[in-house]
Amino acid sequence: MSSTEIQNSGEESCFRLEHLPGKSPRLAGKASPQVNNRWDAPEVTANGVLDIEDRILRITGYYGYNPGYSSHRREEGSESHAETPVSETSGNGTAYQTCANTVLKVLGGLLVVLCVSSSWVGTTQVVQLTFKSFSCPFFITWFSTNWNILFFPLYYSGHVATTREKRTPIQKFSECSRLFGEDGMSLKVFLKRTAPFSILWTLTNYLYLLALRKLTATDVSALYCCHKAFVFLLSWIVLKDRFMGVRIVAAIMAITGIVMMAYADGFHGDSFMGVALAVGSASTSALYKVLFKMFLGSANLGEAAHFFSTMGFFNLIFISCVPLILYLTRVEHWGSLSSLPWGYLCGVAGLWLVFNILVNVGVVLTYPILISIGTLLSVPGNAAIDVLKHEVIFSVVRLAATCIICLGFLLLLLPEEWDTVTLRFLTTLADKKTEEHGEELTESSVHTRSRSRANGAVSIPMA
């Protein structure tokens, strides 16, 4: 007899027949005519497979043989082939899921843009409504800034609701305190790092509210958009950021819009003072952002929530004396606390808090450029309300100045590599047109050559 040796190479089994002296080789896989008494009564193993079938497949080295799973091999093979469409279906499902996630992200970004624009427009309009019965801009600024204390509790509530890792508020607060340094929060760090930004924050909002008493909401929101140009100029001078010609053009356009806005009423009266206050608000906002980037760098959502709540505490503890001084000096006088328009005040503070939360959360959920576009959309939003509700008539000079400022704002949103990307895109288009033109010439030459051969003409190459 011959002995059969099975060699498994991962995908198939190989058989080698060895000739024994005096014996003739016999193909493995043929049933032996010899009857064995042990095979007369097949035994059933624990997994329900006949012992005789296992023995035959073990000897013959059947393809894909696994002990104990030899029954119905063809059916299993058909099932393995039937699994291919299932994998294809799962691949299609993954592609559909990716497309669905992209669509949801885009829709979420658009929703955030609309919410940012609506909250800023609502804040501006409610402030002007508040001024009709309560014209105390610093008290409104102080009261609204105190609401920033709620930023971190709201963030912690969202953190607990969306993550499995549960941490105490003190642990999370200490973790987010790394924005102020490795040593965390202390009284010295609290005063050193929070005081300048809190003062700039209060000054920015106070100047913005003062400008709203002099100008329309459309003019003030358009002039405030110049802060983007001031941020670029300060970053270029102080932080040594990359010089970009297009952003210099945008800054010049912003300054041109400011001059045109002031010229609209002849550089005198409340209009000129309102333009100066709005530009001052944009300037302090730009200084706040540049100093934040210089001393604190970038911050995640938790650190931003910690920082805003810390500024709210600083405002409540150290700046509360300013409204009292203004009240005692009759600069801002309000009657009893019961006579204050608490509905308008809470509306302004709530919308302001929502705007700040959306700006910081939107940067995490979507792209920062969408948040900037949401701020820019507040200009046409305020313009629509001013025309429809307040019946404001804009002059040609004011409309031109607003359009120039908005166009400069859009130019400032261009990325730093926009020129390289644009040149690369134009080069790719030119190469594609050249290739298509070459293919057309090749097809026309082939068509002409085939036509000449059909007419009996033969082209003889020149030596």
pLDDT of residue 437: 65
In terms of Cα–Cα distance, which of 359, 370, 231, 369 is closest to 301?
A: 359
Going 59 to 62 to 64 to 67, the CA torsion angle's sign is negative
Are 229 and 412 a contacting pair, CB within 8 Å? yes
Residues in Cβ contact with 122 at an 8 Å cutoff, skipping those fewer than 6 apart? 347, 351
Q: 61 or 250, which is more confident?
A: 250
pLDDT of residue 344: 94
Q: What is the pTM of this model?
A: 0.71
Residues in Cβ contact with 110 at an 8 Å cutoff, skipping those fewer than 6 apart? 370
Average pLDDT (434-447) is 62
Lowest mean pLDDT among 78-92, 168-182, 432-446: 78-92
Are 176 and 306 a contacting pair, CB within 8 Å? yes
pLDDT of residue 79: 42
Q: If pLDDT is split at 50, 70 and 90, which confidence band does 101 have? A: confident
**Where do runs of H (alpha helix) occur along 264-337?**
269-295, 301-318, 321-328
Q: 277 or 367, which is more confident?
A: 277
pLDDT of residue 443: 59
| 39 burial type by CB count under 10 A (0-12 exposed, 13-18 middle, 19+ buried) | middle
pLDDT of residue 51: 55
Using CA atoms of 16, 20, 25, 30 in order, give the dihedral in degrees to the nearest 10.
-70
Average pLDDT (104-131) is 89
Taking the C-alpha atoms of residue 220 and residue 382, their distance in angstroms, rounded to an integer, is: 10
